[in-house]
Chain A
Amino acid sequence: MELIISIFLWALIPLIVGVMLGLDRIVTARMQGRKGPSVLQSIRDLLKLLGKKGSMVNRSQVAFVYLALALQAIAAFILIIGSDILTAFLLSGAGSFMMVVAALSVRSPYSHLGAHRELVQIMATEPVVMLVVLSMGYASGSFISSNLEGALVLTLPLAVIAMVPTLLIRLEKSPFDIATAHSEIVSGPYVELSGRTLGISKLAHWYELVVMFGIFLLFFSMSDPILDVVVKVIVLVTVVFAIALIDNSTARLTRWRMLRFSLTYCLGAVMLNLVILYLINGGVF
């Protein structure tokens, strides 16, 4: 029964992420004094792109984009059925890397620039999320997400905070909208994609967001299923608001500042949390 629910949820992912991004666009518009689009706008954009034939620069780019989608979708599936978080995270990382390879397989210098920046973003996020996943495993003795302890946020509060910049980077939001910086390098890795292929790459990105947000929401698991859903929805909406606020009130950083920020403060926070947890478990406190 649970498996059927998970598969159903997995099939609904594009709808859920689309509504979340639509909500983000409305909140952003309201913060800027505008009315903003419909909450379904991101889904409409996606459907439009998937229905457009577009042009193809070369076959390998298209192949890599489809591979990225497959990897991200499998990673999201593994996370949703309550299996190994570490596998889901590593597969999703491989999927992000496929997008980099896709961007490097064409000759546009903007695409290459975007690919290099995307790599720096991967360098900034992967170690942090890796350590977060490892600390989850340490705190509850298992990497299987259905075996995790409830309310991990209470034991690993600093890890939760350290994940927020990672979510910003993955959502391509200011101050970390470095790879797709629209006013600098147009849209970076996506520059040579058009029509359906662009739609597929967007879908891959949406599944990637699910993996990141999924790991984040695992911190807020509750034993009571109804309470669990309520808490997760509240956390998600709060995070969307917070991210829109940060996006609208900060300017873009350089990529090295981003790297330094996440590898010192974010990584440092997770390590500090692990050390404290280790000392508590060892009976020092």
Chain B
Amino acid sequence: MATRNDELSPWILHFDTGSCNGCDIEIWSLLTPRYDIERFGMINKGNPKHADILLVTGPVTKKCATRLKTLYDMMPDPKLVVACGDCASTGAPFVGCYNVCGGVDSVIPVDVYVPGCACRPEVLIDGVVMALQKWNEKRTMEEVKA
């Protein structure tokens, strides 16, 4: 169970790098009364500087790659990245297309891969919780670096 303040208040940034919108709809459904992620303290923030967790959907198109990298760089440490859906995890059917780099991990480091086409909201919540468990590791690494 999450106990620390940062694990109890993860703020989310969602970025679509070229998805078919299937996974995006599932992410938005997390905000509805049925899944209501605010009960875990999660809020959707439209601002990378306020966010703790980056949810990425879709294969990374070449145009989006630099934007994704910029957003990632703008997020303050410690930060977590969750690749949502098969496309974001591996590039899935779009691997090798002329305009696609591949999965999210071809551009930025990914902490958790959430499978599914589209990924189910329940699995997404699981993915974020799993990412939160990685938080402590990241913090320790940062302290060592400092």
Contact = CB atoms under 8 A, between A and B. Distances in A.
A37 B47 contact: no
A45 B9 contact: yes
Interface string A20-55: 000001000100111111100100110110011111
A194 B76 CA distance: 7
B36 A191 contact: no
B3 to A, nearest CB: 11
B6 A51 contact: yes
Contacts of B11: 45
A195 interface: yes
B8 A187 contact: no
Contact of B41 (A44, A51, A53, A192): A44
A187 B50 contact: yes
Contacts of B36: 29, 34-36
Given A34-B38, A36-B38, A193 B49 contact: yes
B8 A44 contact: yes
A183 B33 CA distance: 20
A272 interface: no
Given A44-B5, A194-B76, A29 B50 contact: no
Contacts, number: 68
Contact of A191 (B5, B33, B47, B77): B47
Interface string B4-17: 01101101000000
B46 interface: yes
A34 B9 contact: no
Given A53-B77, A194-B50, A37 B41 contact: yes
Interface string A183-203: 100110011111100100000
A182 B5 CA distance: 24
Contacts of B76: 52-55, 194-195
A110 to B, nearest CB: 9
Contacts of B47: 186-187, 190-191
Nearest to B38: A37
A45 B41 contact: yes
A205 to B, nearest CB: 14
Given A41-B9, A48-B6, A54-B76, A33 B46 contact: no
A33 B9 contact: no
Interface string B62-97: 000000000000101110000000000000000000
Given A29-B38, A33-B33, A36-B38, A51 B50 contact: no
Interface of A: 25, 29, 32-38, 41, 44-45, 47-48, 51-55, 182-183, 186-187, 190-195, 198
Interface of B: 5-6, 8-9, 11, 33, 36, 38-41, 45-47, 49-50, 52, 74, 76-78
13 contacts: A29-B36, A34-B39, A37-B39, A37-B40, A38-B41, A41-B9, A44-B9, A44-B41, A54-B76, A186-B47, A187-B46, A187-B47, A191-B47
